[in-house]
Amino acid sequence: MATYFIAGLKKLLNSDWILGYCKPEIAAHWVFVPFRLLLTEQQISQFIIHLGGVIIDLSMGFLLFFDKTRKIAFFFLTLFNMMNYQIFHEIGIGIFPWCLVATMLFFCRSDWPRKCFQTFPASMSSPAPLYHELQASDHCLYSKEYVKPEDKVFQARTVALGATTPPTKARTYHRLVSVVTGAYILLQCFLPYSHGITKGNNLFGMGMYLYSWDMFIPENTIQHIRVQYVNKNTRESGYLYPGAWVSDKRWILHPTTVKQYVTCVTRHMKKYNIDSVEIYVDVWRSLNRRFIQRSYDPKVDVVTANWNLFRETTWVMPLLDNLSYWRPKLLEIERQVWESSNHAQVTFVADFPGFYLKNFVHEDFTNTSITVLQGAVKVYTAEKNTTLTEGNRVQLPFNKFHVVQTISDEPSCYMYIYVNTTGEEFQRNVSLYEEILNQTNSQKEIKVNQTLGEILNGEQSPMYRQAILNRQIQDQEKEMTLWERFKWTMKNNHRLFRRGCKTLFGGLRSIVTGRI
């Protein structure tokens, strides 16, 4: 019950979840196909996923307590957890939904296993010990006759006299169990709100999970990571691959892991004869569809920076929450840009006064521009320097670096609009290649000029075939019925289960035999 109820409280107190900005993209998943008969994807995200998730979390725990509502809770919780498994199993949610389904049995009457075993034949009573009647425990304070007496007169007399003293007195065992149970309940009530104490973990107001049940409430989009090192002895500087010496990039999510990563890098740098080093971390990310902004101060050497678990980290940049009202406008701009061209993309950036962003435009994006939405910036390129205010726009050179510095007294907001001209040309060639193949298969006479000949017989023709095949697969997936999707999912789950069993069997055999 606590799992659902606390998760519901955390969602209810989070405005981003109530407004539907945390997980809107999952509304496009196939499990919501039945809801699309009546609702749009935006309505599914708002009412089914976000508001529906809060209602389920807050109510299901209480519905499990009562016999008349338990079946309703079983139905909705099973459906809820199985949908979660289908949506999130690719990102490693594991057996968590299955465990929640299994623990629902704890809310049933305590004699449900005995009733199951009582349906077995009498010959199976020995291997099924729960078939026999339960015996009273020696630790019970109240006897069965005292709690539920058969004698109605005795019960009425007990109630009239107000007799509340149990037949036996509490012993040390009972007091110890009470203390442990009370401490466990207090711990479960404390952990979800421990961010106010463990301030050293907090970033953008959210700390590490640590049983806080903030699952999927903070939705982070990582845009850019830069790790710069400076040799203190020679003042030589360079950049490190963010994934160096770590298995993934999750270390950027919290100040405590950033500090640990920097400590690890410092230790490894000694192998390259760099004994004294400064490390500067610059991470750009977006929280729940806000502007992309920097998370840490790029001017602070994290190696020597102070960090304490119980104090706020001074080199963490604050969340620009006062710009949250832009989010509906950003979604509208993004929709308009997408409608203008399938190969056009937009990135929204916000930065603090006096800071700058150094960026590189790839050669594939020959049509890239920057437009200021709020504040003022100065754009430095190799050719010229341009000052932009609200509504101004400038074209950026490709295959070159540029710098965008905020010169206004307030945070600046601007957006990149870039078109992948290489991808656009590739898709045109794919469509033309497919048209040529269709005409050839239909035995139509076509006139192949030099350009068409290069497309048909060029080095990229295998890539065109693969692109056509991928497009056909995507079209087939879109046309799949709900029943076909369900069968495909069950087949995939069966494959994953078989692979898991084989891996488990192989691991156990390796442990027993000592061979790999």
List strand residue ranges (DSSP E) for 119-172, in order. Answer: none
The closest alpha carbon to 414, from 397, 391, 398, 396, belongs to 391
Cβ proximity of 260 and 271 under 8 Å: no
CA distance 506 to 509: 5
The closest alpha carbon to 260, from 297, 295, 307, belongs to 307
CA distance 193 to 183: 16
Cβ proximity of 341 and 424 under 8 Å: yes
SS3 label, residue 106: helix
CA distance 192 to 50: 19
Question: If you write DSSP's letter for every residue of 367-428 in order, what string do you get?
Answer: EEEEEEEES-EEEE-SS-EEEE-TT-EEEE-SSEEEEEEE-SSS-EEEEEEEE-HHHHHHHH
* Phi–psi pair at 483, nearest 5 degrees: -65, -40
Sign of CA dihedral 48, 49, 55, 61: positive
Amino acid identity, position 397: P
CA distance 306 to 262: 13
Cβ proximity of 404 and 356 under 8 Å: yes
Residue of 11, 115, 199, 502 marked active site: 11
* Phi–psi pair at 368, nearest 5 degrees: -130, 135
Residues 6+ apart with CB under 8 A from 280: 227, 228, 229, 230, 298, 299, 300, 301, 302
CA distance 308 to 259: 10
CA distance 319 to 350: 10
SS3 label, residue 472: helix
Cβ proximity of 16 and 22 under 8 Å: yes
CA distance 394 to 416: 10
Residues 6+ apart with CB under 8 A from 56: 4, 8, 76, 77, 80
Q: Note if 11 is an active site residue.
A: yes
The closest alpha carbon to 222, from 283, 290, 297, belongs to 283
Cβ proximity of 222 and 284 under 8 Å: yes
Residues known to be catalytic: 11
